């Protein structure tokens, strides 16, 4: 059944602060400026609109001159592509002169400025992204985008293979937009073209792939889209490893962020985390998150159950948040199974104000007990930590005394020499 579109959303879009100001500033006899693309699409769906883009027949310098004449700040953020960012009370509005493609090599297009909104729409990727809205409130649709939006269908404009040759990233965008706006199965013609062109993904910059794939993973229909990517062999080109679709589903159901969903989908070991760092050019913090989950998975591997003491020890080693996130994605698997007491122990560590368990013995404590600074300190603390983890991370005074004694005893032991 077709979804209902919110025509009132278009009126709300035009009445948003700054929109009328920009349109009025650029109003010129013989010229036209419209709202275009995603803001129009999302307004029709009744969704929140963040970025507002405009297209105009004005040349870039004319756009800048008109904006400044109206007392607005105009920044040439992409003037080589015809884009001027007009700022109204701190809010940016990207205004781009209509364009026509002269030639393209799949990554970089040679364009010239144009005056035909319909021709500019033909340059876009999908019909749902080619809608435009005039200052008079009239909705313009020359590619069938309204019908596709109502049907929940993401469809390439024109010949899908041609659109993909212009920019191979559109393969991922096809899946990402279907995950966000699509209903039922992906458009067959578009899907077939993406499969045939899968080799072109290898020529894309890893940074572009990373950004698009993480957006896909954050979309409402991510699980079904990733399942299709996996079935068609496209996912292997992105992640290079085994896909854990069940874990991804549990990660999505728990509301984990995109990088957590990536970890659930594709990380089973530290080697996976390292491979994804290179394949997707992940930031250091993102890679660290994947590594943390890989280590937590390794620590949980082979356990049948988790008792409260073991849960506290695991939380001390891996952090309560990482441990909880890892247990979420394992929840549908036969093991490990936390006991009710272990669940309660983890919940207590996740509560606001709670702290990760910390070994209650320091090197200074041992020096105060007469142990000389040096390698013996490290050996002593390692022994104390092992005992502390085995005991479930106690922090009371009695436990601390036991740990200090164990540390001092370990320091007295001579390290094993070479065999």
CATH number of 1-151: 3.30.460.10
Q: Which two tokens stand for residue 38?
A: 């995603």
Best CA proximity match to 193, nearest among 175, 181, 177: 175
Asked whether 54 and 83 are in contact (CB, 8 A), the reply is no
Q: In this predicted structure, what is the pLDDT of residue 411?
A: 84
Q: Which two tokens stand for residue 27?
A: 């109003």
Considering the entire predicted model, what is its pTM?
A: 0.88
Maximum Cα–Cα distance across the chain = 92
Q: In this predicted structure, what is the pLDDT of residue 395?
A: 87
Q: In this predicted structure, what is the pLDDT of residue 367?
A: 93
Q: Are strands 83-88 and 91-97 parallel, antiparallel or unpaired?
A: antiparallel
CB count in 10 Å sphere of residue 221: 19
Q: In this predicted structure, what is the pLDDT of residue 110?
A: 62
Best CA proximity match to 363, nearest among 327, 329, 407: 407
Q: In this predicted structure, what is the pLDDT of residue 412?
A: 78
Domain coordinates in residue numbering, the chain: 1-151, 302-350, 363-412
Q: In this predicted structure, what is the pLDDT of residue 352?
A: 95
Q: In this predicted structure, what is the pLDDT of residue 3?
A: 87
pLDDT in tens, the chain (419 residues): 688 899 999 999 999 989 999 999 999 999 999 999 999 999 999 998 989 999 999 999 999 999 999 999 999 998 888 999 999 999 999 999 998 866 655 445 566 899 999 999 999 999 999 999 999 999 999 999 999 999 999 999 999 999 999 999 999 999 999 999 999 899 999 999 999 999 999 999 999 999 999 999 999 999 999 999 999 999 999 999 899 999 999 999 999 999 999 999 999 999 999 999 999 999 999 999 999 999 999 999 999 999 999 999 999 999 999 999 999 999 989 999 999 999 999 999 999 999 889 999 999 999 999 998 988 899 999 999 999 999 999 989 999 999 999 999 988 775 555 54
Q: How far apart are CA 231 and CA 218, in angstroms?
A: 20
Q: In this predicted structure, what is the pLDDT of residue 419?
A: 43
313 sits in the region (left: phi over 0; alpha: psi -120 to 50; else beta) called alpha
**Stated length of the chain:** 419
Helix-, strand-, coil-residue percentages of the chain, each rounded to 5: 55, 10, 35
Asked whether 345 and 380 are in contact (CB, 8 A), the reply is no
């Amino acid at each position: 059944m077709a979804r209902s579109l919110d025509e009132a959303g278009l009126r709300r879009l035009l009445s948003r602060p700054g929109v009328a100001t920009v349109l009025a500033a650029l109003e010129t006899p013989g010229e036209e400026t419209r709202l275009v693309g995603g803001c129009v699409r999302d307004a029709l769906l009744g969704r929140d609109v963040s970025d507002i883009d405009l297209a105009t027949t004005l040349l870039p310098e004319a756009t800048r001159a008109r904006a400044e004449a109206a007392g607005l700040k105009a920044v040439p953020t992409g003037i080589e592509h015809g884009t001027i960012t007009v700022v109204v009370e701190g809010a940016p509005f990207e205004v781009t002169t209509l364009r026509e493609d002269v030639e393209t090599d799949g990554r970089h297009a040679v364009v010239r400025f144009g005056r035909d909104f319909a021709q500019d729409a033909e340059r876009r990727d999908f019909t749902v992204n080619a809608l435009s809205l005039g200052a008079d409130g009239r909705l313009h649709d020359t590619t069938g985008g309204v019908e596709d939006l109502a049907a929940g269908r993401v469809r390439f404009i024109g010949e899908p293979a041609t659109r993909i040759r212009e920019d191979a990233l559109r393969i991922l965008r096809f899946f990402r937009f279907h995950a966000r706006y699509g209903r039922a199965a992906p458009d067959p013609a578009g899907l077939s073209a993406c499969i045939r062109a899968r080799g072109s993904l290898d020529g894309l910059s890893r940074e572009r792939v990373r950004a698009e794939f993480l957006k896909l993973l954050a979309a409402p229909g991510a699980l079904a889209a990733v399942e299709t990517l996996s079935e068609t062999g496209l996912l292997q080109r992105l992640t290079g490893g085994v896909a854990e679709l069940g874990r991804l589903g549990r990660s999505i159901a728990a509301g984990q962020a995109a990088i957590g969903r990536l970890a659930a989908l594709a990380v089973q070991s530290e080697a996976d985390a390292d491979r994804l760092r290179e394949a997707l050019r992940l930031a250091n913090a993102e890679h660290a998150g994947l590594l943390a989950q890989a280590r937590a998975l390794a620590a949980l591997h082979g356990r049948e159950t988790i008792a409260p003491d073991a849960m506290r020890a695991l939380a001390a080693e891996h952090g309560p948040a990482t441990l909880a996130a890892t247990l979420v994605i394992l929840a549908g698997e036969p093991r490990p199974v936390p006991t009710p007491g272990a669940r309660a122990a983890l919940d207590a560590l996740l509560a606001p104000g709670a702290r990760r368990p910390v070994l209650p013995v320091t090197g200074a404590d041992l020096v105060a007990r007469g142990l000389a600074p040096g390698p013996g300190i490290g050996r002593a603390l390692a022994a104390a930590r092992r005992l502390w983890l085995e005991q479930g991370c106690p922090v009371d005074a009695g436990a601390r005394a036991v740990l200090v004694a164990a540390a001092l005893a370990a320091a007295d032991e001579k390290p094993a020499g070479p065999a």
